[in-house]
Amino acid sequence: MTSQHIPSDVYPALTYIRKTEKRTPEIGLILGSGLGHLATIIKEASVFPTHQIPGFPHATVAGHKGELIIGLLENRTVALLRGRVHYYEGHPIQKVTFPIRLLYALGISRLLVTNAAGGINPHFVPGDLMFITDHIGLLTGINPLVGPNSDGGPRFPDMSEPYDLAWIEQAEQLALQQHIRTHRGVYLWTTGPSYETKAEIQCFARIGADAVGMSTVPEVIQARYLNMNVLGISAITNRAAGLHKGALTHEEVLLVGQQIRDRFERLVRTIIAHL
């Protein structure tokens, strides 16, 4: 898909933003649960509360403020989504991926997507960062591309490399230089909002998942459909059910997100500086 084929459903939102913001961002960022502090250091920022953007779905979850910010980070123009919407909030799956289509319409060809995830791999501990090398989404039976194929994109988009391997390798080297511990792994998407059972986590481990969460995969499918290059980073905020002591809570996810904030922000800023 080329820039001449902007998805029609984002035209009102694009028009609304372009009335006051003319810059073309070099990269789009989506910040997951507890990871939104990075938005506060954007310079020369234009801030758009997402509930004011035509057609933009409303975020309702703690830790997801709901802002689109366009500004400078490491002297590069970025478009940053502070928080995301989830399928479990009751949005149709095409609405969940509306923000990706809007980022594409703004001129973005690179997407850095982050999330908070539960660790399945026994070598992962809360506070670790994982570069997503692949994902598993078919267990949900949900795909954002289901429906008419009327906007010029491929009917059957290739997903053999949804995450940019060269970008991962570069980011790993940058993390080493910053003395930041990272892993590679496979991310598995569940719809939520309930956390997984112990039996489900055992099943996911057997089919190759290293981490589990309730977002990201629909966004990446939409991004790859639009031929965007994607880098994914999971913040391991807890061990998954059966590997975790006590009950799983969203408050714990947000707390660990705060604890890893400095490392996460250093890594993201370094990646952006070396685009």
Report how far residue 89's alpha carbon sits from residue 92's, in angstroms, rounded to the nearest whole number. 9
User: What beta strand segments (E) does the chain contain?
Assistant: 27-31, 43-49, 67-73, 76-82, 110-119, 129-136, 182-189, 211-213, 229-239
Pure H helices in the chain: 11-18, 93-96, 98-105, 165-177, 198-206, 217-225, 250-259, 261-273
Catalytic residue among 105, 215, 240, 241: 215
Catalytic residue among 214, 228, 235, 241: 214
Q: Is 214 a catalytic residue?
A: yes
Nearest Cα neighbor of 272 from 78, 106, 116, 128 is 78
Q: Is 64 a catalytic residue?
A: yes
Q: Is 228 a catalytic residue?
A: no
Q: Is 116 a catalytic residue?
A: yes
Catalytic residue among 39, 45, 59, 64: 64
Catalytic residue among 11, 37, 74, 88: 88
Catalytic residue among 45, 175, 238, 240: 238
Report how far residue 125's alpha carbon sits from residue 116's, in angstroms, rounded to the nearest whole number. 13
User: How far, in Å, are 34, 97, 146, 152, 199 from residue 225 at the CA level?
Assistant: 28, 11, 12, 10, 33
Q: Is 33 a catalytic residue?
A: yes
Q: Is 159 a catalytic residue?
A: no
The answer to whether the beta carbons of residues 33 and 221 sit under 8 Å apart is: no
Q: Is 89 a catalytic residue?
A: yes
Catalytic residue among 89, 172, 200, 252: 89
Q: Is 238 a catalytic residue?
A: yes
Catalytic residue among 116, 117, 235, 240: 116
The conformation of residue 149, written as its DSSP 8-state character, comes to -
Catalytic residue among 13, 59, 86, 130: 86
Report how far residue 100's alpha carbon sits from residue 112's, in angstroms, rounded to the nearest whole number. 11
Catalytic residue among 1, 143, 250, 265: 250
Active site residues: 33, 64, 86, 88-89, 116, 214-215, 238, 250
